Structure 1
Amino acid sequence: MRSFKRIALLCSVSVLFAPVALAENWQVAKDEEGIKVSLSEVPGSKYKAYRGVTVIKAPLAKVQALQEDVAGACAWIHECKLQKLLKHEGDQSWTYTQFNTPWPVTPRDSVLRVTTVKGADGSLTRNLVEEPAYVPEEKGFVRVVMVDGFWKLVPKGDSTEVTYQVHTEPGGSVPAMIANKFVVEAPFNTLKALRARAEKN
């Protein structure tokens, strides 16, 4: 019985982390201004996962504070129109975000459950999971179907290494050209804007 429970638990964990775990064949798509963006195919999805990495010359606590300012973070998140905190409970929070999209794509909105995990090495991981049914859909927006990803902040002396990795199923119809552009621009522009704010005195 114990073995059965262990197998069931392993299966559930595997399903939970499958999209990110399967996105392992990373290819560098952009490496400019100290920001490296890589993309990976995800089995069963026509949308690529993206991963952006940079080093910010600011302490981890400052980068964390910018991320936890949910409404203020909209200023540096790529194509963010509006963002608000829905609920905070322990190490979890739920956020609602509206995104601008280029014509002819209908604007998207998203509800994320963010779980914060502190590492023994002083690192901080913020796991991102879409919960599309958490609040009713808004008129004029298409709800993002799935988000699976994370932010990872690792202290490097007085600096912080930041990794931003996400796989998204945006819902509805998105032309391939726009989707392919987004998966490069989203991590690059988001990390660039976050870095600029964090490095301000």
Structure 2
Amino acid sequence: MKTLFYLTLFVLLPLSTSAPGKWKLKKSKDNIEIYTRAYPDSPFKEFKATSIIDTTFDALLQELYDAPTYTPSCDFNVSYRILNDSDDSRFFYYKQEMPWPIKDRDVVTELKLVEQTEDRILLSIETVSDILDLEDNCLRIDKLSGFWLLEREDNGIRATQQIHMDPGGSVPAIIVNPLLVRGPFKTFTELHRKLDSYKEMTQN
């Protein structure tokens, strides 16, 4: 999905912690809620975004898996699908353009089906290091983990994305702070827009 990795770099905390902090609601708009909290033994925060979407499991999974095919000349700020998938895994590449003098970042992730029942689907998100070579003048993110959790509710599917990431190198907080909420909110806004359009097409 093109919007899967709009979120990339997170805000520095003044001190590391040894236990997860409490979730703090940072934005609530258009049926989308974004939370952040301190992450154990890390200077970087974790985020959680959640929303109920009037859709089906199949349509939501199709959108999460959707992305243009990766090429070496891929654009910045777009998630690309790497075509060496297994039955339960999808691999994605994302490159984030950063303002000078900060190095651009890229990341390769695996979206893997962990659990699927009638009412619940869990997909893990982890970095992988052996699929694509490093690019020149780009710093590879190798510490990212999280998940997508899809749960059936009476009025639709509750989609939750939770991620913690260490962007590596030295990134000023003034650069990464806005992305902590803005990126996930854009992801979920796009999910609503595309799935609403899909529902309208199937009903006509």
In 2, Cα distance between the equivalents of 1:154 and 1:119? Answer: 10
Indicate which of 145, 155, 159 corresponds to 1:162.
Answer: 159
Q: Is residue 190 of structure 2 the alignment partner of residue 198 of structure 1?
A: no
Unmatched runs of 5 consecutive residues or more in structure 1: 1-21, 73-78
The counterpart of 1:69, out of the listed 66, 83, 89, is 66
2:52 is aligned with 1:58: no
Q: C-alpha distance in 2, partners of 1:102/1:156? A: 42
For structure 2, list consecutive stretches of 5 or more residues without a partner in the other structure: 1-18, 70-75
User: How far apart are residue 116 of structure 1 and its match?
Assistant: 0.7
Deviations 1:120-177 (A, max 9, x none): 3432111001123542111232111211101111123462111010001111221112
In 2, Cα distance between equivalents of 1:92 and 1:67: 12
Match of 1:101 in 2: 98
Q: Percent identity?
A: 24
Taking only aligned residues, the RMSD between alpha carbons, in angstroms, comes to 2.2
Note the 1:182-193 alignment, pairs <5 A: 182-193=179-190
Partner of 1:45: 42
TM-score when normalising by structure 1: 0.77
Select the structure that is richer in helix: 1
Asked whether 1:25 is paired with 2:22, we answer: yes
Change (3 A) 1:194 1:103: farther
The residue identity in structure 2 corresponding to 1:175 is P
Q: CA 1:52 to 1:82, structure 2 compared with 1: closer, same or farther past 3 Å? A: closer
- Distance change in 2, residues 1:57/1:71 (3 Å): same
Residue 112 of structure 2 is aligned to residue 115 of structure 1: yes
Match for 1:87: what amino acid?
Answer: N
**1-structure distance, mates of 2:98, 2:189:** 20
In the comparison of the two structures, how many residue pairs are matched?
Answer: 175
Matched residue SS, 1:70: coil
Deviation at 1:82, TM superposition (A): 4.5
- For 2:128 and 2:166, locate their aligned partners in 1 and report how far apart those are by CA, in whole Å: 12
Q: CA deviation at 1:28?
A: 0.8
Q: Which residue in 2 is equivalent to 1:136?
A: 133
Equivalent residue for 2:142? Answer: 145
Q: For residues 196 and 147 of structure 2, what CA distance do their matches in structure 1 show?
A: 22
Farther-moved stretch of structure 1 (186-195 vs 160-169): 186-195
